[in-house]
């Protein structure tokens, strides 16, 4: 199998530099508003700030994958003597909480690294974070080329799963005689 280059985009988060200003949430929601920049609503942002000044907790978290089912257990982290709430580090849009969901429709939100045309020089949350709590890195990795199944192959595979290979082959043979 041949190798291809894949670009890996990384946003590094330095929680010690975050002061909870929420500029990242504002620009993300404005950039993803429809039309662009027509509104600011942090609830629509793909980055959310866990902000608890009394505990000195300022934690930017990016929206990741949607999950239909919530976890059976919960994680609770203590780092450098600071105790974070359950699920604080989780990136999932899940049924157990309201973050990373469009407020009106409830549809999941996911960070898309501000991919747009023309491309941004850096993700906008990184550009707007004047405290350098967010920094952007790109690297290339060599990966195996993905073999994309043709539509017909995907269809045939599901027919074989459903009816068995022999029945599918018999049907194709019968059809080809007719044709
Ligand atoms: S813009 Fe930077 S400093 Fe402000 S809340 Fe976001 S990550 Fe923290
Ligand atoms: S990279 Fe772009 S889409 Fe992702 S959180 Fe930052 S501003 Fe939002």
Which of 18, 44, 46 for a ligand 2 pocket mutation test, highest count of atoms within 8 Å of Cβ? Answer: 46
**Residue 83 C-alpha to ligand 1 middle, in angstroms?**
20
Whole-angstrom distance, CA of residue 42 vs CA of residue 74: 25
**Residue 61 C-alpha to ligand 2 middle, in angstroms?**
10
CA atoms within 13 A on the CB side of 33: 16
Confidence at residue 58, expressed as pLDDT on a 0 to 100 scale: 97
The residue among 124, 137, 136 whose CA lies nearest residue 23 is 124
Lookup: tokens for 72: 């059976």
Whole-angstrom distance, CA of residue 167 vs CA of residue 173: 10
Whole-angstrom distance, CA of residue 38 vs CA of residue 19: 26
28 lines ligand 2 (CB under 6 A): yes
Whole-angstrom distance, CA of residue 97 vs CA of residue 106: 11
Q: What is the pTM of this model?
A: 0.79
Which of 15, 19, 27, 48 for a ligand 1 pocket mutation test, highest count of atoms within 8 Å of Cβ? Answer: 19
Instruction: State the average pLDDT over residues 150-159.
Output: 64
pLDDT band at 150 (very low <50, low <70, confident <90, very high): low
Confidence at residue 166, expressed as pLDDT on a 0 to 100 scale: 83
Q: Considering only CA atoms, which residue is closest to atom 1 of ligand 1?
A: 129
**Residue 63 C-alpha to ligand 2 middle, in angstroms?**
9
Share of the chain above pLDDT 70, in %: 90
Lookup: tokens for 168: 């599918």
79 bridge partner residues = 82
């Amino acid at each position: 199998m041949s190798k291809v280059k894949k670009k890996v985009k990384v946003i590094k988060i330095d929680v010690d530099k975050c002061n909870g200003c929420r500029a990242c949430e504002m620009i993300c929601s404005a950039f993803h508003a429809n039309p662009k920049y027509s509104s600011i609503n942090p609830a629509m942002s793909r980055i959310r700030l866990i902000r608890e000044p009394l505990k000195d907790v300022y934690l930017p978290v990016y929206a990741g994958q949607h999950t239909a089912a919530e976890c059976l257990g919960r994680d609770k982290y203590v780092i450098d003597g600071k105790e974070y709430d359950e699920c604080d580090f989780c990136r999932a849009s899940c049924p157990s909480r309201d973050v990373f969901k469009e407020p009106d429709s409830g549809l999941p939100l996911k960070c898309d690294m501000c991919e747009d045309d023309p491309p941004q020089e850096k993700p906008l949350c990184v550009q707007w974070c004047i405290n350098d709590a967010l920094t952007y890195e790109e690297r290339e990795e060599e990966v195996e080329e993905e073999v994309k199944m043709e539509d017909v192959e995907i269809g045939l595979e599901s027919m074989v799963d459903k009816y068995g290979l022999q029945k599918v082959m018999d049907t194709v043979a019968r059809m080809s005689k007719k044709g």
